[in-house]
Structure 1
Amino acid sequence: MAALENRPFVKMNGLGNEIVVLDLRDAPLDVPPEEARALARREVLPFDQIMALYPPQTEGTRAFVRIINSDGSESGACGNGTRCIALYESGRTGAQHMLFESVAGPLECTLAPEGITVDMGVPRFGWHDIPLAGPVSDTRAIELQAGPAEAPVLRAPAVVNVGNPHAIFWVEDIDAIDLALLGPELEHHPIFPERANISAAQVVSPDHIVLKVWERGVGLTRACGTAACATAVCAARLGLTGRRVTISLPGGDLVIDWRESDDHMLMTGPAEFEFGGRLTAVMLGEAERPAAASGEATA
């Protein structure tokens, strides 16, 4: 029997970032990687992340959140998924303000007419925090490129950890960048011992950036909240934008405010419900057992 068989799920999305919410607070079960991969099949329930809710470990929090990518690996943070679980919890309890916890730290969420705001914490810029394979003198631009050596398509990304590792390449024409081609190699580049999320960013103005993201463990995605946060803080750090910026992704816009008073990243955007149901053995990759094996007598 599959571990997650018969568990209820809710399918949601944040800017088209496909999210499955599993509320496991009443029966804490691990999410087996093979079951996550089976569930993510295109013909079953394709998703970018599972947001699995477990009993809280700290008083005053709603749940401890584990984030599972579509390839079965785990992620430390998912901004779009966090907005989804905030909307889910609000629908369940009516709360407009709530606190979750994760391996990356606390996740404070507030629902308001303009959208759902998540406090994504403080960015980390040290090479060992991202992490990189070895020391670099300046994480605002590291030695890394993609494409032909004589004419690289992408070069000198900024790197940061915002709960997971990110590399942001600045480009003049984002439509000319084939991230589906370049993303896999960069995600697995030896400089990133824990792999990395790869973004191509075009600065349109001091308060607007257009972004494409190859997400670690997922691939090309319509939206990535942590990539939006990473891009915003790296752009401000380089003087390309101010500390409040709109990030336009294929799925829509996020507003990122890198708060000057404490360096916390506040991300505001939408989330929505799609449908719900219960997981079955077939969805989770198990073949249905026949009522009787061939040649076996039946009662």
Structure 2
Amino acid sequence: MRIPFTKMHGLGNDFVVLDARAQALPPINGDIAAALADRHTGIGCDQLVLIEPSGNADLKMRIFNHDGGEVEACGNAARAVGLLVGGELTIETLGGTIMARPDAAGIAVDMGEPRFDWDAIPLAYAMDTRAMPVGWDMLESPVAVNVGNPHAIFFVEDLSAVPLGQIGPVIEKDPIFPQGINVNVAQILSRDAIRLRVWERGAGLTRACGTGACSTAVGAMRRGLVDRKVTVSLPGGDLVIAWDEDTPERKGRITMTGPATIAYTGSFDWGAYA
């Protein structure tokens, strides 16, 4: 059985997208997702994205990280799906329902409202999520934010001085984060600009992370470090993040805007991975 796929990326964060709306696919588990994501023996990607029918939205999006673990949300994947399907969409995810629409700068995604309560991150026990009283080597007092999935954000003076590839996996698996954590290290450049690198839970260092950009921007706004609309620069490119507190119907919701790209299409033999 041959299965069609679309290879896409958002600022270099790349995906293998499978569309199961018109034709049902065999059940996909973490082992199959990890095999497809392998860059040596599979198609290769940061995340496998599965589009399915939804009874509550225009479609359902499931996301599997490179290691096969299923995660709640992915902003870059939402932009990719928005580009692939087209038009204004509501997208059901494990992290909640989000919306995507075409924009002059690419695809704009309504990421919903961030969550800050310690048990919504979740953390192992109660603490201040605006400045957690914890630290790892040179990184301390992170902001914790959940934007469909959990993030810890560290603000530093010099982003290039942080060995994120070494310290990221240590923080990701610390017992204080019972479901693991995405580790964001950010440098404030101005009131409307942030530089960011992300160690992504289950995927490692990534060229771009949409929920990481949203969480970092909101964390900086909570601390009064930036204005309500900022450009977040990642190794793969820029995302514009706005957190609206003024418009009643948009109050508290995050909008992420940026590009998405179709790289190529193809098909694979299901039996080679099942």
Scaled by the length of structure 2, the TM-score of the pair is 0.95
Correspondence list, 1:219-258, <5 A: 219-258=204-243
Report deviation, 1:113: 2.1
CA distance in 2, matches of 1:190, 1:79: 26
* Matched residue, 1:37: 34
1:89-238 correspondence to structure 2 within 5 Å? 89-90=85-86, 96-136=87-127, 138-147=128-137, 153-238=138-223
Q: Which amino acid aligns with 2:84?
A: Y
Q: What does 1:55-74 align with in structure 2 at a 5 Å threshold?
A: 55-58=53-56, 61-74=57-70
Sequence identity (%): 47
- The one-letter code sitting in structure 1 at the alignment partner of 2:92 is E
Which deviates further from its counterpart, 175-184 or 47-56?
47-56
CA RMSD of aligned residues (A): 1.3
CA distance in 2, matches of 1:29, 1:42: 22
Moved over 6 A (4+): none
* Aligned residue pairs, count: 268
Residue type of the alignment partner of 1:126: D
Partner Cα separation in structure 2 for residue 179 and residue 79 of structure 1: 21
The answer (yes or no) to whether the contact 2:107–2:258 under 8 Å persists in 1 is yes
> Distance in 2 between the 1:23 and 1:42 partners?
21
Deviation of 1:62 after TM superposition, in Å, equals 2.2
Quote the Cα distance in structure 2 between the aligned partners of 1:6 and 1:71. Answer: 23
Aligned-partner Cα distance in 2 for 1:252–1:48: 16
Aligned to 1:272: 261
Q: Distance in 2 between matches of 1:62 and 1:20?
A: 20
1:86 and 1:57 map into 2 onto residues whose CA distance is: 18
2:269 is paired with a residue of what secondary structure? coil
Q: Which amino acid in structure 2 is aligned with residue 86 of structure 1?
A: G
273-282 vs 260-269, which deviates more? Answer: 273-282
User: What amino acid maps onto 1:258 in structure 2?
Assistant: W
Cα drift, residue 56 of structure 1? 1.3
What's the CA shift for 1:170?
A: 0.6
**8 A contact 2:37–2:48 mirrored in 1:** no
CA distance in 2, matches of 1:79, 1:16: 13
> Which is richer in strand?
2
Q: Distance in 1 between matches of 2:50 and 2:13?
A: 16
- 1:173–1:10 distance in 2 versus 1, CA, 3 Å: same
User: Contact between 2:58 and 2:89, CA under 8 Å: does it hold in 1?
Assistant: yes
Q: Is the 8 A contact 1:130 1:165 kept in 2?
A: yes
Pairwise CA distance, 1:28: 4.8
In structure 2, distance between residues paired with 1:87 and 1:115 = 8
Letter in 2 for 1:39: L
The 5 Å alignment of 1:271-290 reads 271-281=260-270, 284=273
Q: What TM-score results when the alignment is normalised by the length of structure 1?
A: 0.87
Partners of 2:3 and 2:270 within 8 A in 1: no
